[in-house]
Structure 1
Amino acid sequence: MYYLLILAVGVERLAELAVANRNARWAFANGGMEFGHSHYPVMVGIHAALLLNCVLEVGLLHRPFIPLLGWPMLALALLSQGLRWWCIATLGKRWNTLVIVMPQAPLVRSGPYRWLHHPNYVAVVVEGFALPLVHTAWLTAIGFTLANAAVLRVRLRVENAALGYR
Structure 2
Amino acid sequence: MRHLKHPLISYTLVGVQFATMGGLLLTGPWIHSGWEFIFQILGIGLGLWAVQTMHLGHFNIIPDPRPDSKLVQAGPYRWLRHPMYTSILLFFTPLVIVAPTPLRWALLSLLLLDLLLKLHYEEALLKERFADYPDYQQRTHKLMPFIF
1:77 aligns with 2:47: no
Residues 9-60 of structure 1 deviation map (CA, whole Å, 9 limit, x = unaligned)? xxxxxxxxxxxxxxxxxxx5xxx543522222221111110100124xx9xx
1:46 aligns with 2:20: yes
Could you say which residue in structure 1 is the equivalent of 2:4?
Answer: 34
- Aligned alpha-carbon RMSD (Å): 2.4
1:117 aligns with 2:117: no
- Specify the structure having the higher radius of gyration (Cα): 1
TM-score by length of 2: 0.71
SS at match of 1:154: helix
Q: Using the alignment, how far apart are the partners of 2:17 and 2:40 within structure 1? A: 19
Sequence identity percentage: 25
Higher helix share: 1
Name the count of aligned residue pairs: 122
1:106 aligns with 2:59: no
Residues 73-105 of structure 1 deviation map (CA, whole Å, 9 limit, x = unaligned)? 011101100101111111112112222413364
Could you say which residue in structure 2 is the equivalent of 1:91?
Answer: 54
- Unmatched 5+ stretches in structure 1: 1-27, 59-64
1:138 aligns with 2:100: yes
Q: Using the alignment, how far apart are the partners of 1:143 and 1:155 within structure 2? A: 18
Q: Using the alignment, how far apart are the partners of 1:105 and 1:52 within structure 2? A: 34
TM-score by length of 1: 0.64
SS at match of 1:101: coil
